Amino acid sequence: MSVIRNSTFCTAALLVAGLLATPMLPAQSPEPAAPVFKRADFDPGAAPRAFEPPVDADGPFQFESKMFDFGRIREGEQVKVTFAFRNISDKPVEIESIRAACGCTTPSVFQKVYQPGEQGTIEATYNSAGRRGRDSKTVNVKTAAPEEHNYVLTLGGMIVSDVYLSSGMVNFGDVEEGVGRRQTVELIDTTAEGVEIVSATSSVRGLTVSVQRPQPYQDPTSGKNGQRTILELVVPRDMPRQNLRGSLTIRTNYEPIPTFSATITGRVVGDIVVEPAQAYFGMMRPGTSAKRVARLKVTNGEQYFLDSFEVLRGEGSQDVAELPKLDVEVTTPDRDTGLQNVALMLQAHEIPGAFDGVVLMKGHTDVGRKLDVEIPFRLLVQAPGQQPRPAVPVQPGVSTGAVQRISLDELRERGAIVPRPVEQ
């Protein structure tokens, strides 16, 4: 509590100094103070405590608190918090949706419609596995028309752990094909027993992981002595062009949290770089058309010309006889940046379902070099009665199974648009 008192005193002193130095202005209504986290002393056995900000009567629901500080917890613990509210309008109010901004938080509500004056609660369960330090998450609550309103509920606290990864992400960036790259991540252990790594694997095909011997270490935050184990991840020189999207999984003998994971990002690039690397068409109605544009650049400054293309389809996609109609166009390079636009024009097929595929572009440069470019794409043809919504992006680096090559002759037979040479 002393921290809050000191903060209040300093704030009051600054306000007084500002009033003395500022000319008198007409009186204005003061803005409500933004709620702040209350400090919670470390007590593993203490019950969670709710915030006490000013009551916000905006919209049909009046929440007792829109923020909750669960204090300090150990990594791996789950905390359930409750946000109480009351319908202060004179009409029944329906909760249209309730969503968490993170998969680590699971919200729930016991009923959807609340009568005037009726009280209710929204629960949110937070899973601290894989998290450390100060963390906060949000839950978005939307009420339906005519009393439409959006509420943002926040929960947070401090997560402490004796064993943790130095980073939750291993980013390789752009790795030039034929060069390779190394990155490291550390498993920090401040327990007295000494944690051993049982296995360390990567879901990215071709990427290798090696574990070095533990070294003495002192945690700069807690001051505890322990050990750190360095894990080295290597993109080999012979790795082909691909997106590096996956995860590093580390299994240990640490019983409270036996498994640790980190996200792997990056890509191996060759003579051509395409941004963005995937085309997402989202949900489309049968027979409708959409266009997506990517930017292409040959790394040595050459100009790329499209000769033809074919479609690769994953067996994990819905097996439909009719394919989406597709056309591809490539523009001339921009004089200043050297970038070329790649336009994918797609017409959705009539049968509802998902389609994941790759556009394989075959072309050449202005000096006669042959270069192929692959652009993954996805669309979801909606069924009757479905509401349009964005399609779930294809997870880069995750195989969807074997691919089926479709020839240009087959595309013509199925009504696909045959690409034409780009005029210079």
**260 and 294 in a common domain:** no
pTM for the model stands at 0.48
User: What phi and psi, each to the nearest 5 degrees, are found at residue 16?
Assistant: -65, -45
pLDDT tens profile 269-293? 877 888 887 888 988 888 899 999 9
Among 226, 262, 265, 264, smallest CA distance to 130 is for 262
CA distances from 112 to 80, 93, 100, 258 (A): 20, 8, 17, 39
**pLDDT grade, residue 24 (50/70/90)?**
very low
**pLDDT grade, residue 186 (50/70/90)?**
very high
**264 and 202 in a common domain:** yes
Which of 114, 143, 159 terminates a domain? The answer is 159
pLDDT tens profile 335-392? 888 889 999 999 887 777 778 888 889 999 998 888 888 888 888 887 765 554 443 3
- Select the more confidently predicted residue: 22 or 228: 228
**pLDDT grade, residue 211 (50/70/90)?**
very high
Lowest mean pLDDT among 33-47, 108-122, 132-146: 33-47
pLDDT at 398 over 70: no
Which of 159, 186, 208 terminates a domain? The answer is 159
**134 and 56 in a common domain:** yes
One DSSP character per residue, 46-64 reads SPPEE--PPPB--SSEEES
- Select the more confidently predicted residue: 89 or 12: 89
pLDDT tens profile 102-122? 888 999 998 999 999 999 999
Q: Indicate which CATH number applies to the domain containing 212.
A: 2.60.40.10
Q: How confident is the model at residue 170, as a pLDDT?
A: 92
DSSP β-ladder status, 67-74 and 113-114 = unpaired
Q: 3-state DSSP call for residue 239?
A: coil
Mean pLDDT for the stretch of residues 256-264: 88
**392 and 376 in a common domain:** yes
Which of 269, 288, 304 terminates a domain? The answer is 269
The residue whose two tokens read 């939307």 is 142
Which residues constitute the domain of residue 363?
272-413
Task: Report CA torsion sign: 394, 396, 297, 328.
Answer: negative
DSSP 219: -
- The token duo for 235 is 């993109």
Instruction: Specify whether the CB–CB gap between 133 and 168 falls below 8 A.
Output: no
Say if 16 falls within a structural domain. no
**191 and 151 in a common domain:** no
